[in-house]
Amino acid sequence: MADELPKDVAKWSADDVETYLTFKMDKFDINDIKVIKDEGVDGEGLLQLDKGILTSKFKIKFMHAVAIMKLVKELNDKRVKEVEEQMESLSLDKTKKTPEIDAS
C-alpha cells in the first residue's frame, strides 16, 4: 500500500488519503473515512486536520478522531524528520565542498 502512494503526503489526492486511512483503519471505521473522503480531504488537508475539525465539522466520534489524529501526527513527524535530514545532508555537503585554507 505505502509503495503505491506518492512519497510526499502533501501531494496525495483524496483517493490516496482514503487508501491510506483504509489501510491504517484501527480505532475508527469506514464511515469516518467516507466523511473525510466526501469532504474532499487531500494530503495537504489531512496534514492540517485537528480534533476540533474532525469532531465538530465532520461529526466524527471523539475517540475515532483521536486515532485519526495519531496517524496525522505520525505523518507530520515523518515529514519534519525528512526535512531535517535533508537540511543536515545539505550542511554536510557544504562542509565537504569547502576547501581548506592553509594558514601558514
Regarding pTM above 0.85, the answer is no
Q: Determine the pLDDT at residue 91.
A: 78
Q: Any idea what DSSP says for residue 8?
A: S
pLDDT tens digits, one per residue of 23-79:
999 899 999 999 999 999 999 999 999 999 999 999 999 999 999 999 999 999 999
Residue 1 or 84, more confident: 84
Fold for the domain defined by 2-83: DNA polymerase; domain 1 (1.10.150)
Q: With a cut of 90, say whether residue 21 has pLDDT above it.
A: yes
Q: Which residue has the cell 565537504?
A: 96
Please tell me the distance from the alpha carbon of residue 95 to that of residue 26, in angstroms, as a whole number: 45
Q: Which long-range contacts (CB under 8 A, 24 or more apart) does 54-61 make?
A: 58/32, 59/35, 60/28, 60/32, 60/35, 61/28, 61/32
